């Protein structure tokens, strides 16, 4: 499927085309605007559940405007990593700096206000609320002009606009994933983290989810993507990190890792794509 979908304006896909969005968000800036800096710097992060060390001292950076992916098998510690970044889990050690400021010790709301948002594993939309209400919830920490962001996400996801008053629980899996992403965008993040956005979706819908990721990134958004679908994630990402039982065992440019024999053997053969 073409990556220039926003220019051609039509894909005939099944969760609704990605809309054409010309303007970027002013607050984001764009790739190549200035010297690149690390938006997120994670150092020696540890997360434990009782005696279980889920994350055993990992370090990685997310440069502004780039896509970074963490791949790894089920149980590797990917979700624990993302959840600890937004204080949904309390780190047992290490440092999480966002724009140079330590996030450990802050609450989730404060971290979201700083510009980080998480699209959780399994989407977790509010099934009894309408699409519109879900989007409003995404902006609950803000009291400035929501309409322009609502217009923006509706342009990006025309299917959601059509279904604005429909209960989220009645949307297809792919549409719910779009809604979860759109809802996260409503908090006006500088960086969006996505936890296995392709999980449980049909291959054609997975393609569309990756088109959206590409599109959002092109508009300036920094993305930290967690996937078991290693093949697609590495091809989409500037940088990739492989996690195994709580540790980072390999890292490199996304395309490079996708071609790495060790990665191919361990992950790409078993990839769901």
Chain contacts with Mg ion (rule: CB under 5 A)? 79, 121
The stretch near ligand ADP (CB under 6 A) out of 77-85, 108-116, 135-143, 167-175 is: 77-85
Partner whose footprint covers residue 74, from Mg ion, ligand ADP, none (CB < 5 to 8 Å by kind): ligand ADP
193: tokens are 């983290």
8 A C-beta contact, residue 242 and residue 248:
yes
Q: What is the dihedral of CA 185, 27, 39, 259, to 10 degrees?
A: 60
Taking the C-alpha atoms of residue 244 and residue 227, their distance in angstroms, rounded to an integer, is 13
Of 82 and 209, nearer to ligand ADP (C-beta) is 82
**Distance of alpha carbon 198 from alpha carbon 272, whole angstroms:** 10
Dump the DSSP string for 8-35. H-----SS-PPPP--SPPTTT--TTSSS
Q: Counting contacts by CB under 6 A, is residue 74 touching ligand ADP?
A: yes
Which of Mg ion, ligand ADP, none is residue 174 near (CB under 5 to 8 Å by kind)?
Answer: none
- Cα distances (Å, whole numbers) of residue 237 to 20, 179, 216, 242, 268: 22, 22, 13, 13, 15
Tell me: does residue 79 bind ligand ADP (CB under 6 A): yes
User: For ligand ADP, how many residues bind (rule: CB under 6 A)?
Assistant: 11
Q: Give residues 30-49 in contact with ligand ADP (rule: CB under 6 A).
A: 49
**Of the residues 78, 159, 183, 188, which one makes contact with ligand ADP according to CB under 6 A:** 78
Measured N-to-C along each axis, helices 131-138 and 173-185 cross at an angle, to the nearest 10 degrees, of 30
Minimal distance, residue 193 CB to ligand ADP, in Å = 12
Q: Which C-beta is closer to Mg ion: that of 99 or that of 121?
A: 121
List of residues contacting ligand ADP (CB under 6 A): 49, 52, 54, 72, 74-80
């Amino acid at each position: 499927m073409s990556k220039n979908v926003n220019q051609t304006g039509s894909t005939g896909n099944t969760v609704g085309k990605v809309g054409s969005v010309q303007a970027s968000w002013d607050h984001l800036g764009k790739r190549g605007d200035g010297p690149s800096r690390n938006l997120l710097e994670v150092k020696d992060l540890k997360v434990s559940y009782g005696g279980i060390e889920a994350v055993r001292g990992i370090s990685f950076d997310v440069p502004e405007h780039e896509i970074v992916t963490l791949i790894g098998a089920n149980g590797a510690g990917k979700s624990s990593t993302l959840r600890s970044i937004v204080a949904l889990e309390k780190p047992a050690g290490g440092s999480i700096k966002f724009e140079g400021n330590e996030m450990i010790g802050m609450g989730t709301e404060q971290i979201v206000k700083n510009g980080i948002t998480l699209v959780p594993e399994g989407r977790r939309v509010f099934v009894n609320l309408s699409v519109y209400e879900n989007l409003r919830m995404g902006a609950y920490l803000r009291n400035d002009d929501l309409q322009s962001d609502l217009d923006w996400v509706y342009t990006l996801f025309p299917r959601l606009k059509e279904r604005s008053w429909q209960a989220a629980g009645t949307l297809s899996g792919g549409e719910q994933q779009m809604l979860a992403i759109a809802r996260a965008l409503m908090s006006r993040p500088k960086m969006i983290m996505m936890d296995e956005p392709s999980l449980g979706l049909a291959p054609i819908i997975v393609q569309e989810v990756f088109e959206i990721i590409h599109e959002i990134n092109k508009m300036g958004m920094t993305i930290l993507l967690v996937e078991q679908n290693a093949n697609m994630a590495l091809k989409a990402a500037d940088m990739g990190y492989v996690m195994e039982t709580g540790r980072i065992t390999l890292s490199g440019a996304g395309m490079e890792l996708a071609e790495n024999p060790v990665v191919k053997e361990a992950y790409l053969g078993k990839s769901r794509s």
